[in-house]
């Protein structure tokens, strides 16, 4: 049995996007496939009484500047150039995250994730506006009708809610969150620890 | 000219204590001597409008538990056994931090730091109670009278305030904070980045 690695993500979190960009290299180095689990970050915040950094950093001198410095360091360390702050932040991602559930069911999940992330954080758009969403998905040559119909499906809505509740039950309080087996890691800065834990668990199983 | 590394510390922060325990190994690996800069964390919080994690984590589900998990991981990774949560937390460290300035002036700074940290987080005591402080310093065979008189010296008080203001001006908002040259790193989890930056700056100078 191989090591299970999960990435609990919401398109609204820039730090989840930056993690998404470096996950392929982590997969290549470790030989594991990371499982993407769509969750609704707003639901996590509501269930845990947590708030986004955009809120918690407000009015605190130096702390936001330091987060910006850490982001710049991460971009440089990983040679990331395709990142642009979304001018419409915070974007309500309910439709996009339900769309991720639809994409899982219909078998185009990986491409959907790549494309929606691009529309959020590389060529950022107001991705909580239905017209903007339709235009973006069309540009990406994704099955727009299937998606826009599917996100109204009660089962799809329920699945996203179940993912989110399960995530919180397992200890999640923000984004990005990773599980290596049952070990939780929070934040893009923990990706090195994630990788070391994967290697450790791989060693323990051989 | 060698690389300058500063550790801005307050005895009240458990994460600063845990950093203190692993700094000797970092110094041995890199060949640099870390400069300890006494600051008053309460003053940093006041100047930046920040609060301690003990406050900011209140009422948030999962987040405090995760911090506990990260502390346990740090203890395990570094083989730390001499750490005990101070039952009197939060301890007002004003006298202890002024004492650190006195100890710098009088030439017994390193021993003072080691001993006070021990009385805070290894055999924890109520180190904002003057009687407890005197008993602890006596047990440590430190010059109690010099310290208790020195902390009333206006110049000592002013020096601690100047250190704290300078720290905030340079970007500090919490504890522990490190500078490698002018590069700020926040949190015990950044010690690996601190070390890599030291090595990078050493390489850039040869």
Q: State pTM to two decimals.
A: 0.94
A65 with B171: Cβ contact below 8 A: yes
CB distance from A191 to chain B under 8 Å?
no
The whole-angstrom separation of Cα A45 and Cα B185 is: 27
Per the document, the length of chain B is 206
Q: Which residue blocks in A49-140 are alpha helix, DSSP H?
A: 53-56, 63-77, 94-106, 109-121, 130-139
**Among A69, A173, A4, A29, which residue's Cα sits nearest to residue B65?**
A173
Calculate how close chain B gets to A50, using CA atoms only, in Å. Answer: 6
ipTM higher than the 0.95 cut: no
- For B48, the closest of A56, A62, A184 (CB atoms) is A62
Residue B2's pLDDT band, with cuts at 50, 70 and 90, is: confident
The answer to whether the Cβ–Cβ distance between B61 and A69 falls below 8 Å is: no
Task: Give residue-wise pLDDT tens across range A95-122.
Answer: 999 999 999 999 999 999 999 999 999 9
Q: Which domains does chain A have, with CATH numbers?
A: 5-50+82-205 (3.40.30.10)
- Chain B partners of A73 at a C-beta cutoff of 8 Å? 193
B22: helix, strand or coil: helix
Helix (H, G, I), strand (E, B) or coil at A74: helix
d(CA A120, CA B39): 41
Instruction: Identify the band that residue A1 occupies on the pLDDT scale cut at 50, 70 and 90.
Output: low
* Length of chain A counted residue by residue: 206
Which residue spans within B27-124 are E strands per DSSP? Answer: 34-38
Select from B73, B184, B192 the Cβ nearest to the Cβ of A69. Answer: B184
- Tell me if B49 and A66 make a contact (CB, 8 A cut-off): no
Q: Is the pLDDT of residue B90 over 80?
A: yes
Q: Tokens for A110, please give them.
A: 């990986």
Q: Strand A34-38 to strand A177-180: parallel, antiparallel, or no bridges (unpaired)?
A: unpaired
């Amino acid at each position: 049995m191989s090591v299970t690695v999960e990435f609990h993500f919401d398109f609204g979190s820039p730090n989840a996007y930056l993690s998404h960009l470096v996950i392929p290299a982590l997969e290549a180095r470790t030989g594991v496939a990371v499982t993407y689990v769509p969750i609704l970050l707003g639901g996590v915040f509501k269930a845990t009484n947590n708030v986004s950094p955009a809120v918690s950093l407000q009015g605190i001198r130096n702390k936001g500047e330091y987060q910006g410095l850490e982001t710049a360091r991460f971009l440089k360390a990983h040679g990331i150039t395709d990142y642009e702050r979304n001018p419409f932040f915070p974007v309500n991602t309910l439709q996009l995250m339900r769309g991720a559930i639809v994409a899982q069911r219909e078998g185009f999940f990986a491409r959907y994730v790549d494309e929606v992330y691009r529309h959020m954080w590389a060529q950022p758009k107001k991705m909580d506006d239905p017209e903007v969403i339709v235009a973006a998905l069309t540009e990406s040559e994704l099955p727009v009708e299937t998606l826009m119909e599917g996100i109204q499906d009660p089962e799809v809505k329920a699945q996203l809610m179940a993912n989110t509740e399960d995530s919180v039950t397992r200890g999640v309080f923000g984004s990005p969150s990773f599980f290596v087996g049952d070990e939780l890691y929070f934040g893009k800065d923990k990706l090195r620890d994630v990788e070391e834990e994967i290697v450790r668990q791989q060693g323990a199983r051989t």
